Amino acid sequence: MNLLIDHLEDCSTPNYFSFAIRCEVCGEFWYSNSIPFSKAGQVTDYVDKKELYDVLYQKEKQRAQLAAAKEAREHFSQCPICRRLVCDSCFLICDEMDMCKECATRMKEAGEPVIP
């Protein structure tokens, strides 16, 4: 879980929160569901509330980050051999131990990807 949070790249804008993770094997990006900021679009209307909205933004961002990490857990696994974070297309279910595609090739292990 913490590993996933460390790997989340912040793609948020002033109006919504979004995070991405890059698979360390194939290099493909996965994006979390974007969550709108509750005060999106209103920030410029209330200049005097900017400070309050900034704090609110950070709070909601933290929550969105946790949600993204939880979501990412369904799509990524950590390879027990190389310790990299890999997407389901690069993570193989092998007989003895599940591992990433590159480690499996190196060790000549046969396996099926989680998502073919």
Q: Residues interacting with Zn ion, by CB under 5 A?
A: 23, 25-26, 79, 81-82, 87, 90, 100, 103
Q: Which amino acid is at 35?
A: I
- The distance of closest approach from Cβ of residue 12 to Zn ion in the complex, given in angstroms and rounded to an integer, is 23
Decide whether 18 or 77 has the Cβ nearer to Zn ion.
Answer: 77
Three-class DSSP category at 10 = strand
Spatial CA neighbour of 88 closest among 103, 73, 108: 73
Decide whether 23 or 35 has the Cβ nearer to Zn ion.
Answer: 23
- The distance of closest approach from Cβ of residue 5 to Zn ion in the complex, given in angstroms and rounded to an integer, is 19
**Dihedral over Cα of 59, 9, 41, 36: its sign:** negative
